[in-house]
Structure 1
């Protein structure tokens, strides 16, 4: 679960960088649900993995959380069009 969440977080961060380009802000409408699924996978990984071995799940949860926050802020600023 941790590795899946980490890879999902890396993909969502790359997608977030692309969605920051002007006129590609509509990508945030797809980024937020995508990153939310990755965050849910990361949360499940944190819950069901021993505390010493859940670093990947925590990192994935963090990356997906950052992508969600930046996507929401970007949508609030540009309305999702710009």
Structure 2
């Protein structure tokens, strides 16, 4: 059950991260990171690793986008 919740949180974070890739909307990644971290935490508590790994990929995407924009843009 925790794995399904983790995957759903990862999907929400990914849907929010897609528009955040547009210039001047990079601040949205600061909203994406806590959601994805929560999903990764729940995925770590479950038996399966799929949800955790998916959330970790979303975290990496958000961090790379934040680093490209200098943390703000």
Alignment TM-score, normalising by the size of structure 2: 0.86
Matched, 1:17 2:6: no
| Aligned residue-pair number | 72
Superposition misfits of 4+ residues, deviation over 3 angstroms: none
Task: With a CA cutoff of 8 Å and minimum separation of 6, indicate the structure with the bigger relative contact order.
Answer: 1
Structure 2 gaps, min length 5 = none
Q: What is the aligned partner in structure 1 of residue 71 from structure 2?
A: 80
**Higher helix content, 1 or 2:** 1
Larger Rg: 1
Q: TM-score, normalised by structure 1?
A: 0.78
| Residue of structure 2 equivalent to 1:59 | 50
